Structure 1
Amino acid sequence: MLRGKLWRHPDFLKLWAGESVSVFGSQVTVLAVPTVAILILHAGPFQVGILSALEFLAFPTLGLVAGVYADRLRRRPIMIICDVGRALALGSIPVAFLLNLLTLEQLYFVALLTGIFTVFFDVSYQSYLPALVDRPNLIEGNTKLEITRSTAQVAGPAVAGFLIQLIGGARAVAVDALSFFLSALALASIKKPEPEPRPSTASGTSGFIPEMREGIDVVFRNPILWRIAACTATTNLGSNMVFGAVFLVFAYRQLHLSAAVVGVVFALGSVGALAGAFLAGWVARTLGIGPTLGVTIIVGGLALLATPLALVGAPALVLATTGFIEGLTIPVYNISQVSLRQAITPDRVQGRMNATMRTIVWGTIPLGAFIGGILGTSIGLVQTIVLGGILSTLAASWIFLGPVIRLREQPAPVMA
């Protein structure tokens, strides 16, 4: 974190600064929007599940389309447009609240709209980094971005909880809207020109469908990529049965925690994510890339499975502890698998590869939230949490039953 060549890379520093501001603001929305739905608009587990599902619906429906455009167009302008769009969409929530016009239907629409902008931003963002920095610096770049993201996750939820307590959830969303505007300004100030996009397939064929198909083939014909996709998709399905639908309802209504306490719980849990981001490189070097991916999935899944222990006593401490362990594993897993994906994929198809991966791994997020909402309403909150934890733990089988577990070092970067 404190060393490396990218400290002397002014354009990377601008990308880093803009993303840091944005992810900090987004931590407010992560807590504020469902809190508004639950405490002001009286939403239940099913409605919260729908809200979360709509936010991620664009990934399975538009992810592949976003990938083609991320390889056809320059990626930085796409990111700027998406930041401005998300700022305007989220800004409508405090405005509607002040006018006494806020409804659950508006939250649904904003979640859907911000999700569309997010899918185009994220696919372009992950594909833009290899064009901005040299490939040998990808792990450093991803580590720095993940550390600041984890830092925001530490401070953000606590600030969000107290902001919600102080000014209300709807007004707190304005902080995130402002952060997206600041991110757009930081991106606009980057001076390094992007390479001219050259949309085509390896055979030289151009066209929307052939280019989209090539992105799918890049993932499914690579035994490392598709197994990573399957593992991440499975753990996302299980974890979002919990966090996408029932966790906050469990915290507010069954454990009777306040928004401020929930914010502190999230913040304390996120200290683990910050520690994990610092430790990611060391863990990967010590265990090897493949074992790192498998072990982190198992440990994170078991921590999620332990969440109902909060009913026994000291609920804030239990949730903070399990959250710390889960948070510790997430950046270690993500830094390793994202850097691996970026290194073994040619720049020409980075956008389509990332879009295909995102379509798969984030496509299960709305499904998990929807299933979690139904299960939370029909069989109970605790039972849903247990099922989600079991599913997340079993996701590691994709890593252990294949060639990924045998990877010890980061493969040599593919430059073509």
Structure 2
Amino acid sequence: MGKYLEILKNKHFRYFVLAYTLLDLGKKLSWVALSWFVYEITGSTYSTGIIITVTTLAPILASIFVGNILDRYNRRTIMIWANSLRGLSLLFIPVMYWFDLLTVSFIAFIMFINGILSVFTSVGAFTILPSFVKKDDLEVANAVSQMSVQTGYLIGPAIGGFLTALFGAPITILINVICFLFASFLYYLISDEAFNKGRKINNSEDSTIMDNVKSFWMETKEGFKFLWSYPVLISIPFITFFFNLTYAPLEPVLSGYVSTTLNSGPEALGTLWTIFAVGSFFGAFLYVKLDKKFTYSIALGSTIFLWGAAATVLGFSPTIYISFIIMFFGGIVYAPYNIIAPTLEQKLVPNEIRGRVIGVIYFISGLSFPLGTYLGGILGDWVGIRETIIISGIATITLGITVMLLKPLRFKEISVLPTKKSEKTG
């Protein structure tokens, strides 16, 4: 507990994590409110699916460019404006509804814009966080961030559902707007020096538009080139790519698993995810307590392997109560992955190019999730729901074993990689 209390004494880090928690909570509120709202005004699950697809794809498409923007310009200013605009864009949905002008196409447009702006938080959180803490405290800082995300999972959907039932979706979205604006205010309270420590801000007033576009494109390509230059670095997004691919089939079949296989209702499905979030919260907390003397290949591979084992056992579960226990265990073993992988990336990538490199990593690793959910839907109808969950688990176990054997990740201590391949030593 001492490590957590010590790092939370850091005012800048405390504001940063609180803003991150508010943004994640707001995302969960809007997710529940919007999915209910769209179905309520259209009566169509297809329309709801369109909104979810747009919201999911926009961040993936934007991630490459957003990372470079975070590297080139004042990160504090970007985070303040991105999240202020994110909140204000959502404000259009209830306003247009009250004026009887709202359409599904307009909601899709707003959520596409919102999805692009959300990348400044998802990529920015991992890019900027190392500026607020010492290198030795990075793992604890990422654990605290991970626990804040799980806090959003724990209370966000429940609060969103309660507010939507009590006040209606438009008012719930309005409350969500306040979350985004308050998060921007918290970013405002953090100094420029803390946000931009160890880097120069691009001041290109004398450059032409074409010069800036050309420079921006060249710097974006540098992110790709740097990533591909080091096997240790390129292995991380591809591990996450395949982990997403093997995990994702579980998500589209889980509602059918609870309903038809375990004969339970929607409240059981919600409880299942809440228990998973509780497990993830404890998993993040406990991981930092471990006396970790194993290599990164073992750390990442064993996490993937154990989640695969939990998913496989889940496929054989006879009752919802046993499923609750399995998902709690699954949350515990799943959580460390979201601490280990970001910490490894942050320690390896130099601060001045961290945004564009992590943006590329986010792009590569995120591509497989929609593909995995699509395959899960097909497999659920083709081979059965239980079978799909078991296949997902076995594929994940296989991936975990493969990662444990990866040579590029067989190390314990790491340092920042040089920006030029020719400077590489050792």
Letter in 2 for 1:130: P
Which whole-Å CA distance do the structure 2 matches of 1:259 and 1:96 have between them? 31
* Residue 366 to residue 136, structure 1, CA distance change in 2 (3 Å): same
Percent identity over paired residues: 25
Which whole-Å CA distance do the structure 2 matches of 1:370 and 1:169 have between them? 28
Higher deviation after alignment, 252-261 or 152-161? 252-261
Conserved 8 A contact 1:296-1:333 = yes
Letter in 2 for 1:209: W
**Cα drift, residue 170 of structure 1:** 5.8
Instruction: Tell me which residue corresponds to 2:17.
Output: 16
**Cα drift, residue 12 of structure 1:** 1.5
* 1:87-236 equivalence runs, <5 A: 87-95=87-95, 104-167=104-167, 171-193=171-193, 194=196, 195-197=199-201, 207-236=215-244
* Residue 284 to residue 361, structure 1, CA distance change in 2 (3 Å): farther
Which whole-Å CA distance do the structure 2 matches of 1:220 and 1:181 have between them? 38
Within the candidate set 332, 336, 339, 1:335 is matched to 339
**Cα drift, residue 215 of structure 1:** 0.8
Instruction: Tell me which residue corresponds to 1:344.
Output: 348
Within the candidate set 391, 401, 415, 1:412 is matched to 415
* Larger RCO (CA under 8 A, 6+ residues apart): 1
* Residue 289 to residue 113, structure 1, CA distance change in 2 (3 Å): same
- TM-score under structure 1 length normalisation: 0.83
Conserved 8 A contact 2:20-2:125 = no
* 1:42-61 equivalence runs, <5 A: 42-44=43-45, 50-61=50-61
Conserved 8 A contact 1:231-1:398 = no
Which whole-Å CA distance do the structure 1 matches of 2:264 and 2:395 have between them? 27
Letter in 1 for 2:26: G
Please say which structure displays the higher CA radius of gyration.
Answer: 2
Alignment partner of 1:285: what SS?
Answer: coil
Alignment partner of 2:335: what SS?
Answer: helix
Which whole-Å CA distance do the structure 1 matches of 2:176 and 2:14 have between them? 21
**Cα drift, residue 293 of structure 1:** 0.8
Which whole-Å CA distance do the structure 2 matches of 1:189 and 1:227 have between them? 37
* Residue 150 to residue 415, structure 1, CA distance change in 2 (3 Å): farther
Deviation string 1:128-168 (CA, Å, 9 cap, x unpaired) is 12233333332232122222222332333343444455455
* Residue 21 to residue 2, structure 1, CA distance change in 2 (3 Å): farther
Instruction: Tell me which residue corresponds to 1:303.
Output: 310
Letter in 1 for 2:335: P
Which whole-Å CA distance do the structure 2 matches of 1:352 and 1:15 have between them? 20
Higher deviation after alignment, 386-395 or 292-301? 386-395
- TM-score under structure 2 length normalisation: 0.81
Conserved 8 A contact 1:294-1:400 = yes
Which whole-Å CA distance do the structure 2 matches of 1:169 and 1:258 have between them? 23
Letter in 2 for 1:267: T
Which whole-Å CA distance do the structure 2 matches of 1:100 and 1:258 have between them? 34
**Cα drift, residue 73 of structure 1:** 0.9
Instruction: Tell me which residue corresponds to 1:368.
Output: 372
Which whole-Å CA distance do the structure 2 matches of 1:332 and 1:258 have between them? 30
Alignment partner of 1:396: what SS?
Answer: helix
Which whole-Å CA distance do the structure 2 matches of 1:171 and 1:304 have between them? 38
**Cα drift, residue 99 of structure 1:** 6.0
1:323 equivalent in alignment to 2:327? yes
Conserved 8 A contact 2:347-2:415 = yes
Alignment partner of 1:176: what SS?
Answer: helix
* Residue 304 to residue 32, structure 1, CA distance change in 2 (3 Å): farther
Conserved 8 A contact 1:156-1:267 = no
Which whole-Å CA distance do the structure 1 matches of 2:96 and 2:268 have between them? 27
1:26 equivalent in alignment to 2:27? yes
**Cα drift, residue 103 of structure 1:** 5.4
Runs of 5+ in structure 2 lacking a partner? 204-213, 420-426
Letter in 1 for 2:296: I
* Residue 160 to residue 238, structure 1, CA distance change in 2 (3 Å): farther
**Cα drift, residue 335 of structure 1:** 0.9
* Residue 122 to residue 263, structure 1, CA distance change in 2 (3 Å): same
Instruction: Tell me which residue corresponds to 1:203.
Output: none
Which whole-Å CA distance do the structure 2 matches of 1:109 and 1:18 have between them? 25
1:353 equivalent in alignment to 2:367? no
**Cα drift, residue 25 of structure 1:** 2.8
* 1:249-288 equivalence runs, <5 A: 251=258, 260-283=267-290, 285-288=292-295
* Residue 238 to residue 170, structure 1, CA distance change in 2 (3 Å): farther
Alignment partner of 2:292: what SS?
Answer: helix
**Cα drift, residue 47 of structure 1:** 6.0
* Residue 136 to residue 178, structure 1, CA distance change in 2 (3 Å): same
* Residue 232 to residue 352, structure 1, CA distance change in 2 (3 Å): same
* Residue 368 to residue 226, structure 1, CA distance change in 2 (3 Å): same
Conserved 8 A contact 1:53-1:369 = no
Deviation string 1:257-281 (CA, Å, 9 cap, x unpaired) is 5555543332222110110110122
* Residue 298 to residue 99, structure 1, CA distance change in 2 (3 Å): farther
Letter in 2 for 1:61: L
